[in-house]
């Protein structure tokens, strides 16, 4: 075996190692994405369980009008949206119902301040 063959083998090994390293980096990015999504879903699931427990303890009969239809109290919709926002969910038309993971949302706050 001459020197040229040895250097060609080393170059081939280096090239395969580079490809393997790039694949490993891509897998690492996918794992990070999956872990972040899992954490976000765990937080959302925890908050939804908390809401379910709260609603199970507070069961109110709606106020009914004379034609037996529920009466919407003034400001009740606003109060519900405020409650949802304080529980960590978006109430703006851009992300409505999604979990707020990065603090306050300017769209939601501008909607609440109208």
Structure tokens at 82: 């405020």
92 labeled binding residue: yes
90 labeled binding residue: yes
Q: Compute CA distances 106 → 5, 31, 44, 114, whole Å.
A: 64, 31, 20, 12
Q: How many CB atoms within 10 Å of residue 81? A: 17
Structure tokens at 41: 């879903």
Q: Which residues are part of a known binding site for Zn(2+)?
A: 90, 92, 105, 108
Annotated binding site: 90, 92, 105, 108
């Amino acid at each position: 075996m001459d020197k040229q063959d040895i250097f060609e083998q080393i170059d081939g090994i280096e090239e395969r190692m580079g490809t393997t390293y790039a694949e490993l980096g891509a897998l690492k990015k996918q794992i990070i994405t999956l872990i972040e999504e899992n954490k976000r879903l765990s937080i959302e699931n925890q908050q939804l369980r908390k809401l379910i427990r709260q609603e199970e303890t507070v069961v109110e009969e709606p106020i009914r009008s004379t034609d037996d239809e529920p009466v919407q109290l003034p400001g009740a919709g606003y109060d519900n949206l405020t409650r949802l926002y304080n529980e960590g969910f978006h109430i703006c038309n851009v992300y409505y119902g999604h979990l707020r993971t990065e603090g306050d949302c300017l769209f939601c706050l501008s909607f609440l301040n109208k």
